[in-house]
Amino acid sequence: MSRKVYPRTPDGRYFVSRSRLWRCTDPALEDSERRTAVKALMQARRAVQLAKDADETAKARTAVDAAKRRLGERGPVWWDDGAPDEGGKHPKNSSYADWWDALGQEDRDAATRKKP
């Protein structure tokens, strides 16, 4: 299975998928910490899929959120220059609008593609 490549903002804070900015993993994380959190995230996502009732689903989703926070993808931003979190915005409605407008069509197509 090949890994999908999504456009990343010039500052490395976000990637674009399904026409939205998604926060990237904190690049300052130690590799071992990142790998541990990614493993926990994958286990939690599997638990969401396998949940048999609302309680199991809620517990698994809490684990997903905790792993994403460990990775810096949710919660307080990992950068320290005071820039706000623009996650969830369409790039054209963010401070990255000029970058988005200048992006090549192939990259924009990859960023706006819907899940199959």
- Mean pLDDT throughout 7-29? 96
Residues 35 and 58 in one domain: yes
Coil, strand or helix at 20:
strand
The domain of 50 spans 30-72
Number of domains into which the chain is organized: 2
The per-residue pLDDT for 106 is 86
The per-residue pLDDT for 30 is 98
Of 34, 29, 9, 6, the residue nearest 86 (C-alpha):
9
**Phi, psi at 35, each rounded to 5°:** -60, -40
In a domain, 35, yes or no: yes
In a domain, 49, yes or no: yes
Residues 18 and 36 in one domain: no
In a domain, 78, yes or no: no
pTM of the entire structure?
A: 0.85
Residues 92 and 111 in one domain: yes
Across all residues in the chain, what is the average pLDDT? Answer: 93
- Mean pLDDT throughout 79-93? 96
For residue 98 the two structure tokens come to: 């000029």
